[in-house]
């Protein structure tokens, strides 16, 4: 699980385990304490269930690296350069987009919209997986009503995921007309479809009101 091709010294999984183990309080889910590292691990598993794996090559490694590190800047004292040394400047930039640091956004809604507007496909997938994992945790700990409200606040992320899927599908169609579809595009569309279907299932589970997910899952 996670990256295997990284650096001479450690992987993002190892970096996240080090800092979350030292700096981040355990999550309380269903009255039980769970080491915080299990949260990024759950996101990685979810991404892998959608088809996003190391076997994809660079895009797979990058997505899983973002997942392992998505809370590091926000919740630990890791230095940005440490992330860059392990996973590269591109992954650091992606994690910075996902980090809701003090003073950066007016409120949570502004943060969610910023991610929807600025994240690349890999980063959007991580944010969606993060939201779905948190929604399921809220369902266990707080009940369906709170879980549904939390889920619904991610509407800009769902819309961005749907738009990205439609955009890549249009590229594939154009490629077919001219020469051939890119294999990576075909794979990514499959992952996006799996992600949307998963979101649809989680939305049903918590009783969320969300025509935007169903519209994109056709």
How does pLDDT run across 176-205, given as a tens digit for each residue? 555 454 557 788 889 999 999 999 999 999
**CA distance linking residue 135 with residue 158, whole number of Å:** 14
**CA distance linking residue 195 with residue 40, whole number of Å:** 17
pLDDT for res 31: 86
**CA distance linking residue 168 with residue 175, whole number of Å:** 10
pLDDT for res 175: 63
pLDDT for res 55: 84
**pTM given for the model:** 0.89
**CA distance linking residue 42 with residue 143, whole number of Å:** 20
All residue ranges of the chain with pLDDT < 70 are: 1-8, 175-183, 210-218
pLDDT for res 122: 95
> Going along the chain, which residue ranges are E strands?
27-29, 32-34
pLDDT for res 124: 97
Instruction: Tell me which CATH code domain 12-216 carries.
Output: 1.10.3210.10
pLDDT for res 157: 97
Q: Which two structure tokens, joined as six digits, stand for 91? A: 């992954």
Is residue 118 a contact partner of residue 175, using CB atoms and an 8 Å limit?
no
pLDDT for res 216: 45
In terms of C-beta density within 10 A (0-12 exposed, 13-18 middle, 19 or more buried), how is residue 178 classed?
A: exposed
Q: Kindly report the CA angle at 120 between 115 and 123, in degrees rounded to 5?
A: 65
pLDDT for res 28: 87
What's the half-sphere exposure (Cβ side, CA atoms, 13 Å) at 141?
15
């Amino acid at each position: 699980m996670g990256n295997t091709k990284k650096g001479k010294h450690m992987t993002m999984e190892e970096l996240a385990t080090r800092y979350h183990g030292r700096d981040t309080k355990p999550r309380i889910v269903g009255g039980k304490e769970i080491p915080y590292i299990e949260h990024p691990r759950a996101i990685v598993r979810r991404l892998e269930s959608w088809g996003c794996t190391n076997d994809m090559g660079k895009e797979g490694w990058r997505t899983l690296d973002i997942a392992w590190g998505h809370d590091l800047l926000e919740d630990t004292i890791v230095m940005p350069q440490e992330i860059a040394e392990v996973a590269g400047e591109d992954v650091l930039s992606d994690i910075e987009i996902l980090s809701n640091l003090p003073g950066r956004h007016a409120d949570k809604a502004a943060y969610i919209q910023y991610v929807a507007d600025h994240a690349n496909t890999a980063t959007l997938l991580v944010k969606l997986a993060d939201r779905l994992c948190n929604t399921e945790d809220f369902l266990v700990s707080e009940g369906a009503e709170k879980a549904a409200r939390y889920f619904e606040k991610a509407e800009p992320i769902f819309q961005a995921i749907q738009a990205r899927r439609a955009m890549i599908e249009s590229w594939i169609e154009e490629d077919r007309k001219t020469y051939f579809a890119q294999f990576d595009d075909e794979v990514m569309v499959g992952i996006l479809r799996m992600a949307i279907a998963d979101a649809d299932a989680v939305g049903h589970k918590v009783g969320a009101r969300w025509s935007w997910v169903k519209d994109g899952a056709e």
